[in-house]
Amino acid sequence: MNSTASRLLVSARSSAGLTQRDLARRARTSQSVIARIESGATSPSWKTLERLLKCAGFELQAVLRPRPLLRPRLGLKPTAAFQRGTRNRSHMLDDVARILRLTPEQRLLELRNAARFFAAAKRKADDRRV
């Protein structure tokens, strides 16, 4: 998220015609915080990035899409579902072959990322209930 967050923030701030100092004032933070995020030196939380973009006049939206099943750079072959033309109909077993090819470290990273995603989704859902 680091480089993506920095690019998003730079783009939003520039599009709004704001300096780092202007955005920092609006967000009630320091200019150095904005600079560190924009340079990629630090990675903001989803909530912080959302707040900074809002202060620049933008709304952050997340869209969950299935990952492409064909990954040539990893040397993976299309799954049977992809070959049958049911690419958009996902099934939890479609990803088993890919997962089995991962190293234990890569599997742990996948698990960590999934846990972070679900925790953020739960927080978002809880925020909307309040």
Residue 18: closest CA among 59, 57, 63: 57
Q: Using one digit for the tens of pLDDT, what is the confidence trace for 62-72?
A: 877 777 665 55
For residue 46, count CB atoms less than 10 angstroms from its CB and return exposed for 0-12, middle for 13-18, buried for 19 or more: middle
What value does the mean pLDDT of the chain take?
A: 81
**Is residue 84 over pLDDT 80?**
no
Topology of the domain covering 2-55 = 434 Repressor (Amino-terminal Domain) (1.10.260)
Among 31-35, 68-72, 77-81, name the one with the lowest average pLDDT: 77-81
CB atoms within 10 A of CB 63: 4
Sole residue written with tokens 């200019």: 31
For the entire predicted model, the pTM comes to 0.50
